[in-house]
Structure 1
Amino acid sequence: MKTLNFTRFRHLMTLISVVALLLSVLAISTRGFNLGLDFTGGAFAEVAMATDTRIDEVETALAHLGDGSISVVATEPGRFLIRMGGTLDAHTLADFNQSLLQLDPTMQVLDRDSVSPQVGQELFEQGGLALLIAMLCILGYLSLRFEWRLAAGALVALVHDVVLVLGVFALTGMEFNLTVLAAVLAVLGYSLNDSIIIADRIRELLLARPKSRLTEVNDAAIVQTFSRTMVTSGTTLITVGALWLLGGAPLEGFAVAMFVGIVTGTFSSVSVGTVLPELLGLSPAHYRKTPESELLAEKAK
């Protein structure tokens, strides 16, 4: 693979990343998120019914309760996790039980709970704070480990990955809940690891090849870490894909967020993580070790 062709390919990937980033920001600002009951507040109940009971039957029986937002998930045949807006006060609980007993006289409520809108809002704010703190910790780590131009590439790649995951959920209208937020935090760690591997190799090559152009160094770093990236990303994607296909509705949001995050994390580490340092003027001189004689001379002055 010629360096020039690979460099153009990286620049094309970066252009795609910028367009996707802008579209994600537009989707988030215009459509917002379909917040789950974890954040908006609502009632939760787990019930046991006949094994031949269908999800649509349960949804129809409970459609008149709460504010009309009903989510029914079959955890196993005959067991359903039901979420709905509002709270399960005495009147609503009686109506809830009566509606399901008409559908199946053997129905049993195994567990129930509710989250108030105020608690949901606090959870949303705390989740956003956790995301912000994680980003600040990563910023501090990168600033200590790499020269700021190289660190900027890794940091922007991280922001790119998080925004794209959030943009997918805003664009598709999928439910955004605490499980998805946990996946976003996991994506931060995964993407950071990928960016650090490539940035570390770039730093090593800058020291080993002080006369090489940065584009050549970046291309060589990507080629040398390509097999490792494909193995780790590929095996992780297989696992997440199996979770997406076989995990059912409760884990769908988590699996989708992880899948999108892994793909964009690998993509951005190769594109944004290497092109931005080039634009900022990174060079081998920034990692050149100053001879001890020069340091002593400066101290003498």
Structure 2
Amino acid sequence: MSDQTWRNAINNNPIHHSIRQFLNQFPLKTYRSLLRPRELDCPRLYIWGRSTKNSFDQECVKWQVFLKFSKCDFDTEISNEPLMSPSGKLPFLVLTTGENLVDDGIEKFISDRYSEQFVSLSNEQQADSQAYIALADTKLRNALLARPELVDSMFEWVTILRIIFIFATISHKFYVSHYSKPLDKILFHQYKNLAIKELLTRKQALNGEEIYQEAAEALQSISVAFGDNDYFFGRLPTFIDAVIFSYIHVMLAIQTKELISLVQKHSNLIEFSKRINNDYCLLEF
């Protein structure tokens, strides 16, 4: 996914980097440690989340599920603080060697180390997988970012910038709730504007009906391609299953009737989501 996305913009927020630069000046003097830090017994995934080991963030859910598919023995740690990551972003995976992985690095680690847990895809299947992942990362993501019923095609784009979006609301409630005032309010408004900016990079005008229609068409295409299979390409899950599940799970968990109605039109996707949740995750929002 592009570095210009709202999610990556959160991780690359200038306020976070200013804090990081300030904190990097400390401690002024480091004394020899009397005890060595405890080494990890298994990889640890640091995620956005609340009191449980589950995440409200689509990217985090994707990697949680893909790690579950691989049968990798890993821990999950609620962080809510991108500055914890050497790369400055969440989620990130720390290996027992101390190596820090994000994004494609996590996928490569899982695919290389646990390849026996996944079916081998043909070139055509790999192309189809990439196409449907791209479809989800645009059309379904747009539906998550925007509250389309609040967007009127007759509004000018300057007016649209003042509209509240679902993910902006979530970021106020979850992403910035651990910050003290007034930093939480400042970050909330920045994240809201970043969500709007991301949408405007993909659409010249924000029309709520159009955004939902495109998401409905994307789900229809995914549902038809999925068919009656247990997973997208047969008997075992692959990366595309983790991606599609993460979107469906969050769309249902947000408890917004418009998003729920989009998914509920496709019984095979509902069953697919339930199957993965029951067999691998037991995730709650």
When normalised by structure 1's length, the TM-score is 0.26
Q: Which has the higher contact order (CA 8 A, sep 6+)?
A: 1
When normalised by structure 2's length, the TM-score is 0.27
Looking at secondary structure, tell me which structure has more strand per residue: 1
